Amino acid sequence: MTSNTLKSVFWSGFRDGSPFILVAVPFALLFGVISIDAGLDLVETMTMSALVVAGAAQFTAISLMLDHAPTFIVLLTALAVNLRLAMYSAALVPHLGKTPFWLRALMAYFMVDQAFAVAFKKFEEQPAMSQAHKIAYYFGCLTPIVPLWYVFSYVGAVAGQKIPAELSLDFAIPICFIALTAPMMRSLPHFVAALVSVAATLALIWVPYNLGLIIAAILAMIAGAQVELWLKRRAAHD
């Protein structure tokens, strides 16, 4: 295998990942703006974006901290949002599990939703790809996305310092979450899980330490899984 073909595989990953720039850039901008609005400074905002590299969890953490939730609950809830990454991690094992540890450690740091989705789809379609090609493709997918995450978190944070308070930006956090969640309603189980999540959180709002949210999330996951099973059983009957 020549380095030339490795390079072309990298660039084909880069091309396939590029459309998601349109998702990463505005999301990073919004995080920067909201983070500054919540009282974080530039260093804190950038440290968070660089260490966590997971927008939804970062929004969750900031929102709960503004709500003065206990530190433990903030961590637990934000990490729960990121549990989906464990699923990605497991899904990549059959394809990348035999690479040297330092590479796997590096690939883990850069594991973001869009790059994972693109790379995993490719690996499933072309299981015969060599290990080296899979690695090159994976890094290709994330190269147009992750660096822009840092850059536009910074741009958003700098811009956020100049946005006046009269713009009702308090509501930007819920709106961002809605914007993120709405496109996730891909199937009936997703929709039911979201509904249960909303209904149960509102019903359990009296539970102390924001624990109602955790209970609601567990109920919602069970609801989603059960609806999925039910749909499968129904399809099997037809």
Partner 1 sequence: MIDKTTLWIVIVGLGIGTYLIRLSFLGLIGGRELPEWVLRHLRYTAVAVMPGLIAPLIMWPSATGGHTDPARLVAAVAAFAIGMWRKSVVGAVLGGMITLYAVQYLLT
What residues between 57 and 96 interact with partner 1 by CB under 8 A?
57-58, 60-66, 71, 74-75, 77-90, 92-94, 96
What do you get for the CA distance between the two ends of the chain, in Å? 49
User: What does the block give as tokens for 163?
Assistant: 């946005």
228 in contact with partner 1 (CB under 8 A): yes
CA distance 115 to 80: 20
Q: How far is the CB of 64 from partner 1 (least distance, A)?
A: 8
Kindly tell me the sign of the dihedral angle through the C-alpha atoms of 1, 118, 35, 85. negative
What count of other Cβ atoms lies within 10 Å of the Cβ of residue 76?
Answer: 18
Q: What angle do CA 10, 11, 17 make, to 5 degrees?
A: 95
Nearest one of 60, 2, 38 to 176, comparing CA atoms: 60
The smaller minimum CB distance to partner 1, of residues 11 and 88, is found at: 88
Among 8, 21, 158, 190, binds partner 1 (CB under 8 A): 190
Residue 45 C-beta: closest distance to partner 1, Å: 10
Task: Tell whether residue 135 is a contact of partner 1 (CB under 8 A).
Answer: no
User: Is residue 218 near partner 1 by the rule CB under 8 A?
Assistant: yes
Q: Is 141 in the site for partner 1 (CB under 8 A)?
A: no
Query: Considering only residues 100-129, where is the footprint of partner 1 by CB under 8 A?
Result: 101, 104-105, 107-109, 111
Q: Is there a contact between 114 and 26 (Cβ–Cβ < 8 Å)?
A: no
**CB-wise, 126 or 198, nearer to partner 1?**
198
Helix, strand or coil, per DSSP, at residue 198: helix
Site string for partner 1, 4-23 (x = CB under 8 A): ------------------xx
DSSP state of 144: T
By the rule CB under 8 A, 201 interacts with partner 1: yes
Stretch that binds partner 1, among 6-14, 119-127, 144-152, 176-184 (CB under 8 A): 176-184
When binding is defined by CB under 8 A, the residue of 5, 7, 15, 97 that contacts partner 1 is: 97
- Judged by CB under 8 A, the residue of 19, 124, 179, 209 near partner 1 is 179
Find out whether 42 and 168 touch, Cβ atoms under 8 Å.
no
Query: By rule CB under 8 A, what count of residues binds partner 1?
Result: 96
Q: How many residues does the chain have?
A: 238
Whether the Cβ atoms of residue 4 and residue 132 lie closer than 8 Å to each other: no
Of residues 5 and 181, the one with the C-beta less far from partner 1: 181
